[in-house]
Amino acid sequence: MKNEIKPQQEIKPGLHPRNRHNSRYDFSELTKSCPELLKFIAINKYNDESIDFANPEAVKSLNQAILKYFYNITNWNIPKNYLCPPIPGRADYIHQIADLLGSKNGGVIPKGESIRVLDIGVGASCVYPLIANSEYGWKFVGSDIDAVAINSAKQIVDANNLSNSIQLRLQTSPENIFKGIIHEQEFFDITISNPPFHSSLEEAQEGNQRKTKNLGRGKDTTKKDLRNTSTLNFGGVSNELWCTGGEVAFATRMIDESVAFKNNCFWFSTLISKFTSLPFIYEELKKAGVQDFKTIDMAQGQKKSRIVVWTFLGPNQQKEWRNKQTK
């Protein structure tokens, strides 16, 4: 049975109502699940218990405690320098797409292994499949261009006895997204992706400088520091943080390639960080000839992002898809 922490004080307004992380972390409860977290807890300037979110080891320990307490993930670790994702925001993506799937299912969120999801760029942490399988029982395929990340994700899956629910696939052609991952006559209810939104190393460096200052470090981070990503609170190797052209280029490739798999997936989706990226992405969707697309806004305190979703299926095809699920 998954635990729930009694709400205390709202600290991240805007999160989905079903998100288990709407209230402050109850560190006394979290440390019961993960005693190792205790050494990172201190009283902050607001006289509250907290951790140093600029400390990557503290952040990783917090994630281990959260995943164990809320999602029954008893064994979770990632290689040094790999992205250690903030759990609340990742959970929000999952709950939002659950609502999307429910909107085409008579308002009822579909649960169980009949729902198949493809996670593009699953990462070493495998966080999206872990949360979604725990919350809704969905089956997942996770892909990544990084063999180390795939190996790490597989170790997590195997250690938690989830190999029947979560499958990992290495994308051997980095220029491709769906090709080589989606098999012939294989179908997914939705694809998800959290692409690298920086367009260059320098842009990623500037973003990290802002983040570390907001976390209270107040010092500049050099290019050398960025490459030695142990200095980053949430870590991240290069392909996790930036790609040529940033999120617009990545989303454009994803949209273009989705045309070839338009009958294999009900919905395609991707997280978009920058509001200014949307006009370019909308234009690409229109060029691709999608039947429908929409934007789902998300917020976590001051941070705002959105999910762009699209489908090539018309009303009759959507109805046929749903009918096959219920058989």
pLDDT at 235: 52
Q: Which is nearest to 3 in space by CA: 25, 155, 14, 137? A: 25
**Residue 308 is which amino acid?**
V
Report the C-alpha gap between 288 and 295 in whole angstroms. Answer: 17
pLDDT at 6: 47
- pLDDT of 224 > 80? The answer is no
Q: What is the Cα–Cα distance from 236 to 83, expressed in whole angstroms?
A: 4
> CB–CB of 115/139 below 8 Å?
yes
- Whether residue 207 is predicted with pLDDT greater than 70 in this model: the reply is no
Which residue matches tokens 């960025």?
226
pLDDT digits (tens, 9 = 90+) for 44-77: 888 889 999 989 999 999 999 999 999 999 999 9
Reduced to 3 states (helix: H, G, I; strand: E, B; else coil), residue 42 is strand
Please, which pLDDT band fits residue 232 given cuts at 50, 70 and 90? very low
- Class level of CATH domain 86-199+237-326: alpha beta
| Contact status, residue 325 vs residue 116, Cβ threshold 8 Å | no
CB 284 within 8 A of CB 251: yes
Q: What is the model's pLDDT at position 133?
A: 98
User: Is 234 or 314 the better-scoring residue by pLDDT?
Assistant: 314
CA torsion, points 97, 101, 106, 110, in degrees to nearest 10?
-100
Residue 51 contacts residue 41 (beta carbons within 8 Å): yes
pLDDT bracket for residue 204 (50, 70, 90): very low
Residue 225: what pLDDT? 37
* Per-residue confidence band for 208, with pLDDT thresholds at 50, 70 and 90: very low
What is the side-by-side order of every strand in the sheet holding 116-120?
Answer: 166-170, 139-144, 116-120, 188-193, 265-272, 303-311, 292-300
Sign of the torsion angle spanned by Cα atoms 49, 69, 65, 97: negative
Residue 227's pLDDT band (boundaries 50, 70, 90)?
very low
User: Is residue 238 scored above 80 in pLDDT?
Assistant: no
Is 218's pLDDT higher than 60? no
pLDDT at 72: 97
Q: Encode pLDDT of 122-156 as tens digits.
A: 999 999 999 999 999 999 999 999 999 999 999 99
What is the distance between the alpha carbons of residues 325 and 106, in angstroms, rounded to a whole number?
13
C-alpha separations of 40 from 31, 49, 80 in Å: 10, 10, 18
Residue 243 pLDDT level (bands cut at 50, 70, 90): low
Which amino acid is it at 36? E
- Which pair of tokens denotes residue 234? 């949430």
